Structure 1
Amino acid sequence: MSAALMSIPFASRRSSPEPRARDTREVDRLVWRLLDEIKVPFESMSSRLINQAADLKKVLSTDYAEVPALPAKPLLKELARLVENDIISSTDMWRSMLDNGEQLRDHLGRMFGPRELEVRTERYTKGAGLALRGFFCRANLGNSSKFVIFVNTAHHPGAVAATFGHELGHYIYGSLVGEKAPMTAFMEGAFSNHLVEEDELFADSLVALSAYSLDKMKEIGAIASVKSGSSDDLFNRIKKAYDLLIAPNYNLDLTKGKVPAAWRVRYLTSMTHFFKLRCALHRSSGV
């Protein structure tokens, strides 16, 4: 079983130097332990699950603080200020506002100025289905051009909250740096793909800062990349992050069969990605 698991490839749009063989084996061991923890048996490893596990492997093996696309310190400090003053204090309000697009638009307008915004939520299972968690784009609606945030509410509430936070991060990014390119972003595919795009990492940083306070991050213990002999420690820290914050705050049980195996892996990768990013933000920018 371990030999087959070690054949899982890295899922990345850019090539990166292969880690040392012993570090690779350590990552494989950690991936297998995490999959076993959420009750994803080896015999169920379809091609889709193998791709999901490859994304988890890439997330675990990358030192996020060394990623070139990590936003600059001044940008991250401004985001941290916004999260502290306007996002975290409004968490419950954000959730209720997802059902009231007009109220949410007005609140965002007061926060960031009169940028026309349309927020739409829907249980979307056709076409791309659950693979589409949400998107952000500029679109012509009626006689005006607006920014549109769409969130697929067919997902678990915790995933819906993360998706909204990510798409809101794109909106804030455009507010801070301006529209330098066509404003279109989809939250789908592999999280390792986010590591090569500054706007994606900025959007993810909003989620990471909102989900994990500095005190909680320090209590759990920072995670960088997996090195030889570190998998047991990192496994315990990832499990602690899940047990301490994610499971109780979002009523998410990744061991329950009612969540399909592919999405249990996906949600685990998402949680790990955001926590590792939170650790990197503190290490690189002190936020």
Structure 2
Amino acid sequence: MASPDGLPPLRAVIAAHGLEPKKSLGQNFLLDLNLTGRIARQALPLDRATVIEVGPGPGGLTRALLAEGAERVVAIEKDPRCIAALEEIAGHYPGRLEIVAADALTVDLAALAGGGPVKIVANLPYNVGTQLLLSWLAPPVWPPAWESLTLMFQKEVAERIVAAPGSGHYGRLGVLAGWRTRARILFEVSPAAFTPPPKVTSAIVQLFPNPAPQPAPLAALERVTAAAFGQRRKMLRQSLKSLGGEQLLTRVGIAPQRRAETLSIEEFVRLANAV
């Protein structure tokens, strides 16, 4: 029996194309089209930008994005086994789905969009999700090519992205995301929604770029946060010793005995500028 969009059920697609999820690729397929539709609707409107999806697999979220009105979806898929299934979706939605057989870590998103606005919507592979996010947070020119990110992560990673100072989840990822974006968790996703079910709960995070973050050299901010949170149990005068330690902290007006998780983003920016 066909699904509401007129295409075969995802379980039938997986069986027909032999798409057993590969752990080495971080694959966990979403089969509930109601859930994929809910994710797609978080990024509405979808008809005014190129929608880029990373790791579409058999195409559950791809189908939802197209059904919700996306005029142009670019699906970046590393696994060659999934291409035929995605081509069937492209045939069902002529001229609206472009398939890029590539590793998303090597793709120039701005080039794919042709200079127009971009929305990235993806159930990211667990094994590269954080790495991809960091690359989208760190382009040399800001604001970035994308106007929103609607992404699925493990819940623990999602909590790190939106963490505020003083939280146990606050770290390098929270500083970088909080500096350059407004980020929030939209909702959680049960392991039962996936095939195979992961051992952890997932969450949908949405990020919008801050058009004018406090000026700071990105490389210096990454060095400061890596050093500070690399030894987060220690006082900053010790964890930042290689960058100037107590002298650096005194120069920017931060007490040397404080710890990394107590610093605001503005204080990290001051440290980065001083370094």
TM-score range, shorter chain: under 0.3
TM-score by length of 1: 0.23
Of Structure 1 and Structure 2, which has the larger fraction of its residues in strand?
Answer: 2
Of Structure 1 and Structure 2, which has the larger fraction of its residues in helix?
Answer: 1
